[in-house]
Structure 1
Amino acid sequence: MSPRHYPGDVDDSTATELKDLAASLDSVEAAMDLDGLRRQVAELETQVAAPDLWDDVETAQKLTSDFTHKQSDLRKAESLRSRLDDLSTLYEMADEESGSDSAELTAEADSERSSLHADISAFEVRTLLNGEYDERDALVTVRAEAGGVDAADFAEMLMRMYLRWAERHGYPTEVYDTSYAEEAGIKSATFKVSAPYAYGTLSVEQGTHRLVRISPFDNQGRRQTSFAGVEVVPVVESTDHVEIDEKDLRVDVYRSSGPGGQGVNTTDSAVRLTHLPTGIVVSCQNERSQLQNKATAMTVLAAKLLERRRAEERALIDSLKDSGSSWGNQMRSYVLHPYQMVKDLRTDQETSQTGQVLDGFIDDFLDAGIRWRKQTEAA
């Protein structure tokens, strides 16, 4: 694109930022291959308009979802470009006016510039999600680790944090299984987040999280450090060819339970699957029937087996690269006493707004994690 002329009243720093915004958007559009994306959207639009589309429900759902996501990306990119052009025009109008009118237009332009900077930055992060499975829905498992009842409580806090994050963005979630601890909190929980690029986005949360606080469960009011682990895997699709031999499974059925061990069903409908060759155990108790729970548990097991295969491949590549990095390392610290601080130990992203973070405001940490991962892969 040809350089845009910025009006004389725009100071050097503002003109520089406008040029930087244009360069960032150029980079985003190049990474997206905007012309190619337009062709894909046009082709998908023709396919989803076919009268026999829903004869094959699974294919129809995949096509319509793909069309919706790609069309949304295209509209977002075009909207950002339009806003950037309008912003330059707004500064030109402010330059042509005088007095209070000029000041008012300049203030409006400055506000839009700040908003546009945040939106382009967020969209730029999205273009970094180009891994094999990044577009998929995510299966998230949170487990209490060291720290006793505080760890179980912390695991439940993390689960709520992710569910609140999804809720704020309007992403549907489904809790497949929750294992409650005896005194408070959870031993573990697995839930699905359905959204474009949910796996690519949330996969940077994988690892060990640490909480430091005055324990509400210690009658002497002592400071307690506890840990919880987060695992994120992509939802398996029919094309993934993850074969599970029934002979390799142990199937246990039991009665669903709630907090404190309270039974919530009068029938043994909950299902626990143990994959004997790997020792992976998954459970599901959210459906009404045993067959439905088993089908859902098989989906979760397939996702974990797929991730295990990918982890083994990644470990081999890392060993060849002599890489010392590990997804299982401690990655974030939440300190509630003696000061308030949440800090990501990989990216150095931090905030003193601990309450907001635990209420699901984690986008800054997710964006920083995605950028960090891309830099690490390129190193």
Structure 2
Amino acid sequence: MISWRALSGHLVALGVASAVALIVWTRKDPEATTQKGNVEVWGGSADAVEKIVFEAENRSVRLERRKDSHGLWYVGNVDKTIEVKPPSPHGDAGAGDAADPSAGDAGPPAEKKRETTTFVSVEQGKKLAESLAPLLAVRRLGKLDDARAAEFGFDKPEGTLKVTVSGRERTLTFGGATPGGGDRYVKVDGGEMFAIGGSVAQSVLFAESRLVERNLHGYEADELKSAKIERGTLSREVVRVEDKKDGWADAATPMSLDETAGNWMSKLDRLRIVTFVESPSGLGPDSSIVKVELFGKGGRKLGFLELYKVPGEGGKPKFLVKTEHTRWHAEVIASVAEQVEQDLGSVVKAN
């Protein structure tokens, strides 16, 4: 015989299950015909993406396509508003008083300042273009009822993305993140809503860090087989020693390992981009430190690297690099560039 206590437990469990089922049943997507999988929002190809523009309340991002003998690359621009807190008129004492509620005035309010960053994007720009043409969604959700705009983040849209593909402009409005935060709700002209991967939104929301090119070259490290190093009127050719990691030798004695040349080439490879400089000031005939021509198998030209030193702020020098991949001059980390400059004399010597 079933006790009343056991029966009541079953009834409670049944009630909870029914309530959950009712919630799931009644919470529908905007249309009953939700489509899942790789759903095409619009077509096109990455090569046909001419321009990408993102507009939000405190930032605008612009990426424009360029093409040269080395392939596609992009000029990026980020214009954003940041808050800058002015220094306290009380100096350090003011900072201490700010922690004391009885001190009164905590200092002037933060000021809004417009900040612009211009840069070159190659690999990350290509990836963004590939994700936008064709644009594939993980779900097609149909047209959104205005009464449900807040539910999907469209009461306060995060921004608008405009993509020009083969001369035709396409528009996406960014809503909120999907449950779990991995994907993003977007809406196209006409009101149809989709869920797309979150990488597109992340790329434009953080363009100044995600889209900026960081690599000096577009080829793989093991493709480089030889180099011609030019220091003023002096030059030297070196070749890679294949069975030695980071091993280099003089071209005249290719089997004789030259550790000095190898160490210098490794330091050259450690140069890292800080920021791009479209039109550098102070660049003159005496600014050049070294020029390196880079070759692959069979003497095929892979690219080049030019290193310069120009006056910087506070009397400190600033180092600029330009390669076939960067297209523009770019400032590099000074400490590594200084090592390249200091050791150059022991690699390319005067006769």
TM-score (norm 1): 0.25
TM-score (norm 2): 0.26
Q: Specify the structure having the higher radius of gyration (Cα).
A: 2
**Structure with more of its chain in strand, by fraction:** 2
